[in-house]
Copies of this chain bind each other. A is one copy, B any other.
Amino acid sequence: MTETRWLTAEQLSAWKKLIAVVELLPGTLESQLQRDSGLSHFEYFTLAMLSEAPDRTLRMTSLAAHTNATLARLSHVVSRLEKRGLVRREACAEDRRATNAVLTPAGWTTVVAAAPGHVGTVRETVIDPLTTADVADLDRIMGRILEVLDPSHVMVGAPTTDD
């Protein structure tokens, strides 16, 4: 066991601010979405991923990867969304172990209605306080961190619009 390498003052400052953002940001997004659309951020994100998929359909495993959830968590969430009529489950023809999650028309309507308010919050809290250069820096830095947290790039791929 080698000696602990502590953080420099600059590193500590940056770290503390990052952790503060990580703690505060989810709550902010959560409140706005819950208040205006009755969705948790994870529910919104799930619907958004489906809305971008071909046929608005995704296998559970794939959807779990895109939303960074365990299969168990996703299964519970999809059950709730299904009860509310926003998502439908469908047996997969090619692999009978698999289940497809399909966005219903009501689900589509819900995401589309929720999107502007959500984007507004994202702007207010993150994008608008930053300059163009800041945004580029943020992109680069988060990219480097994700190289470690998500080496297989499961959560980055989606090159479409929305969210």
Question: How distant is the Cα of A135 from the Cα of B7 in the complex, in angstroms?
Answer: 12
What 3 A-B pairs come out closest when comparing CB atoms?
A17-B142, A14-B139, A4-B116
Comparing A79-87, A90-98, A101-109, A120-128, the segment that makes contact with chain B is A120-128
A20 touches B142 (CB 8 A): yes
Quick check: is A141 within 8 A (CB to CB) of the other chain?
yes
Q: Interface of A with B (CB < 8 Å)?
A: 4-7, 10-18, 20-26, 28, 68, 115-116, 119-120, 122-127, 129-130, 132, 134-150, 155-156, 158, 161, 163
Establish whether residues A119 and B7, one from each chain, have CB atoms under 8 Å apart when the complex forms.
yes
On chain B, the residues within 8 Å of A21 by CB distance are 22, 142, 145-146, 149
Contact A156 B24 (CB under 8 A): no
- Give chain B residues whose Cβ lies under 8 Å from the Cβ of A134: 137, 140-141, 144
Copies of this chain in its oligomeric complex: 2
Question: Are A138 and B141 within 8 A (Cβ)?
Answer: yes
Most chain B CB inside 10 Å of its own CB: which residue of A14, A120, A127: A14
A147 and B6 alpha carbons, distance in the complex (Å): 27
**Knowing that A4-B119, A10-B139, A130-B145 are A-B contacts, what are 17 other residue pairs whose CB atoms are under 8 Å apart, sorted by A's residue number?**
A6-B161, A7-B119, A7-B127, A11-B135, A15-B126, A16-B156, A17-B139, A21-B22, A21-B149, A125-B148, A129-B144, A129-B147, A129-B148, A134-B137, A134-B141, A137-B141, A138-B141
Contacts of A24 in B (CB 8 A): 68, 146, 149-150, 155
Q: Taking the nearest CB of chain B, how far is it from the CB of A100, in angstroms?
A: 24
